């Protein structure tokens, strides 16, 4: 399992989603629409586990780099 710290990545992803749809910061993002929105970037962000984001072992290095560049 590959991991990254939850912050700032998750914080930036949620902020981008809220900005795009004009939502307030306290709007929950646990919805099918949020998951569908994430898929447009070519990857699925897993549910955070404690203070880390977890990725499957088959999540390629290229996809990890794209994730880092997009959300850091």
Can you tell me the distance from the alpha carbon of 30 to that of 47, in angstroms, rounded to the nearest whole number?
A: 9
The set of residues, in sequence order, having a beta carbon less than 8 Å from that of 15 and lying 6+ positions away, is 25
pLDDT of residue 54: 79
* Residue whose token pair is 């955070």: 48
Q: Is 80 exceeded by the pLDDT of residue 63?
A: yes
**Paired tokens of 59:** 């999540």
Listed by start position, the domains of the chain span: 2-71
Q: Is 70 exceeded by the pLDDT of residue 61?
A: yes
What digits encode the pLDDT tens for the residues 11-53? 888 888 888 887 776 666 667 787 788 778 766 665 655 678 8
Average pLDDT over residues 57-68: 89
pLDDT of residue 47: 60
């Amino acid at each position: 399992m590959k991991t990254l710290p939850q912050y700032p990545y998750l914080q930036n992803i949620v902020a981008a989603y809220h900005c795009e749809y004009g939502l307030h910061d306290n709007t929950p993002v646990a919805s099918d629409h949020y998951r569908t929105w994430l898929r447009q970037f070519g990857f699925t962000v897993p549910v955070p586990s404690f203070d880390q984001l977890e990725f499957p072992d088959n999540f390629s290095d290229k996809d990890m780099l794209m994730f880092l560049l997009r959300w850091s």
